[in-house]
Amino acid sequence: MYKSIIVGTGPAGLTAAIYLARANLNPLVIEGPQPGGQLTTTTEIENFPGFPEGIMGPELMDNMRAQAERFGAKFITGWVNSVELGERPFKLNVEDMGTLETDTLIISTGATAKYLGIPGEQDNVGRGVSTCATCDGFFFRNKEIIVVGGGDSALEEAGFLTRFASKVTLVHRRNELRASKIMQDRVRDNAKVEWALNRTPLEVLAGDNGVTGLKVLNNETGEEEVIPASGVFVAIGHHPNTGFLGGQITTDANGYIVTVPGTSETNIPGVFACGDVQDTRYRQAITAAGSGCKAAMDAEKYIESLEHSAVMQ
């Protein structure tokens, strides 16, 4: 039986763990298959306050975890299959661990990378198709590769991959990019980056040794083209990791958890959400951390109300 359990260990979950641990609430933090969340797959982070020279994503997450552990947060690695939120204490069914019970639950499970859903894509994951430049960029040294997407993440991946590739072609289905101007300027100044805008991906092409190229539709001419490449990196966004909740928490049309404006509160008292799992707009490390702080403080206040009610009775 725990006073608070946090599911997820990105900047939101780890910040919540720091705050709850410092409040002597001894939170249990459940790590999934990717401890540290998306930042463990990013390169240098330049916009997190306090690091004028930048910091690598994995290093930032390791520091935040160590800080939470210093104050008494406990970590376990497991997969939450389902939850029972109809009454308190809430119950979590954790694979290979059985049932855990808690007075409060903080959901910070983040979001997972989306795929294009085109032929040849899933068949070649690990054979040239990837959603993580920092994980797999090294394997494409001196090779031509493709990045699909038009947001900041896609441009960041393209810029990073130029460290290894001989050429990076950025493919986007529109003529205009969604990325911030500073990211666009940075990548456009990189001589290794070429542009294939207004082209819709149709199929990942591959041979015996893996990916050989990407078939696209030129939206201007209506003709199909093949862009040769040894790797295709997909950077088109994410979907929230809320499937394990079984529809017990109110979400929007895209599956993101809906919270009471200005708070981390969900439709169930005692259950809170923070980070990208409830953020459809900002999706930044610093906003995730801030929402983790809010979730911890909301949970602490809720626990205090429970204790007060118990004393009154």
Positions marked active-site: 132, 135-136
- Do residues 199 and 222 touch, judged by C-beta distance below 8 A? no
Concatenate the DSSP letters of all residues of 182-206 into one string: HHHHHHHT-TTEEEEESEEEEEEEE
**Across the strands, what pairs with 217?**
200, 224
β-bridge pairing 210-218 and 199-207: antiparallel
Measured between its terminal Cα atoms, the distance across the chain in Å is 21
Q: Using an 8 Å Cβ cutoff, are 111 and 238 in contact?
A: yes
The Cα 272–Cα 297 span in angstroms is: 10
Strand residue runs (E) in 154-305: 167-172, 193-197, 199-207, 210-218, 224-228, 231-234, 238-240, 271-273
- Nearest of 46, 280, 281 to residue 160 by alpha carbon: 46
How far apart are the C-alpha atoms of 27 and 33, rounded to whole Å?
19
Vertex 59: Cα angle to 50 and 64 (nearest 5): 70
Identify the sign of the CA torsion 26, 32, 35, 39.
negative
Q: Is 193:187 a contact under the CB 8 Å cutoff?
A: yes
Instruction: Determine the angle formed by the axes of helices 152-161 and 181-188, rounding to 10 degrees.
Output: 30
